[in-house]
């Protein structure tokens, strides 16, 4: 079974209007509300690919119920630890300029953290766990090191979708996949990456530190998979870019789902690219039909 861990999920409240006038009453043209959080996005895309999975993490209040209701509607099982405070709301204002106002999320008590740890400790070597996104403020991202460590002790594989020090801290646990983009990879090493050779070289340093596979996404310039056996480049696919939110999560879902199913790393990479690209060309997370359509256009070459 694949599990996704979202420690600080959200309702993503999207507001659209032509222009925001500070200090005045503004009337929106349209709005949407989505179940947000990187792990939850992974769960939703996995389900669209026909891959059963379970979403876990912390959830609370009426906002948390909104999220679990959506997951239930989409046929996704969940095993969240319920907390007293409300799950956060993140407001994304799409006007002449795009503005985000993100909530801090609930405080997590020691007891609730222990409940999640107990659940993760019950997994087995047949399981794969995707850890993604930020942590509630009072826990800090350092909590991931503990959670990933106890998960690995069960024999389960882990996928770690983090940035910066949190990503580096995860490498000692030999994650199945890490997926920084080219800018995040450069930030880790304090360099500006300007060529594919440079990107591959620094991705190999991530491999050397423990990762089993590294995917570097490069927005409209394609993606690079680096393994111990070689490096593989997925050519960019042209299309109308509508959405960057959830594209990386979709890539993680595509790779993880196919790799768990077949252990074929190239096919997993192709499905990852297809899912990420399809979401980029969609208003929300991509549909199964559109993902399959994009998959037929994915071209991967060894470099």
Annotated catalytic sites, by residue?
249
What is the DSSP secondary structure assignment for residue 204, as one 8-state letter? H
Tell me the three state secondary structure of residue 163: coil
Cα 150-39-128 angle, rounded to 5 deg: 45
Report whether 55 contacts 71 (CB < 8 A): yes
Q: Are strands 128-132 and 157-161 parallel, antiparallel or unpaired?
A: parallel
CA 123 to mean position of chain CA atoms = 21
∠ CA 230-176-241, nearest 5°, is: 80
Q: Which residues contact 102 (CB under 8 A, 6 or more apart)?
A: 10, 88, 90, 91
Contact assessment for residue 151 and residue 174, using Cβ atoms and an 8 Å cutoff: no
Beta-ladder partners of 2:
53, 128
Beta strand pairing status for 157-161 and 77-83?
unpaired
Distances (CA, A) of 293 to 276, 278, 286, 290: 13, 9, 11, 5
Of 162, 184, 161, 166, whose CA–CA distance to 254 is shortest? Answer: 161
Q: How far is CA 296 from the centre of its chain?
A: 23
């Amino acid at each position: 079974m694949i599990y996704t861990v979202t420690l600080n999920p959200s309702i993503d409240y999207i507001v659209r209007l032509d222009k925001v006038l500070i200090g005045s009453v503004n009337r929106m043209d349209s709005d949407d509300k989505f179940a947000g959080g990187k792990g939850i996005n992974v769960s939703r895309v996995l389900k669209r690919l026909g891959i059963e999975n379970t979403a876990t993490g912390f959830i609370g209040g009426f906002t948390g119920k909104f999220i679990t209701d959506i997951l239930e509607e989409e046929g996704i099982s969940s095993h969240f630890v319920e907390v007293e405070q409300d799950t956060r709301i993140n407001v994304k204002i799409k006007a002449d300029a795009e503005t985000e106002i993100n909530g801090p999320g609930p405080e997590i008590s020691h007891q609730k953290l222990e409940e999640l740890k107990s659940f993760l400790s019950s997994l087995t070597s047949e399981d794969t766990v995707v850890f993604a996104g930020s942590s509630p403020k009072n826990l800090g991202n350092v909590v991931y090191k503990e959670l990933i460590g106890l998960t690995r002790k069960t024999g389960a594989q882990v996928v770690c979708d983090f940035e910066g020090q949190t990503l580096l801290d995860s490498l000692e646990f030999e994650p199945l996949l890490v997926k920084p983009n080219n800018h995040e990879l450069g930030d880790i090493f304090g360099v500006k990456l300007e060529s594919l050779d440079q990107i591959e070289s620094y991705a190999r340093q991530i491999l050397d530190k423990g990762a089993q596979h590294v995917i570097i996404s490069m927005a409209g310039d394609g993606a690079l998979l680096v393994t111990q056996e070689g490096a593989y480049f997925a050519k960019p696919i042209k299309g109308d870019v509508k959405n960057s939110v959830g594209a990386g999560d979709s890539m993680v879902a595509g790779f993880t789902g196919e790799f768990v199913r077949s252990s074929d790393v190239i096919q997993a990479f192709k499905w990852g690219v297809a899912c990420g690209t399809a979401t980029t060309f969609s208003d929300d997370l991509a549909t199964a039909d559109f993902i399959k359509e994009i998959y037929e256009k994915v071209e991967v070459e060894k470099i």
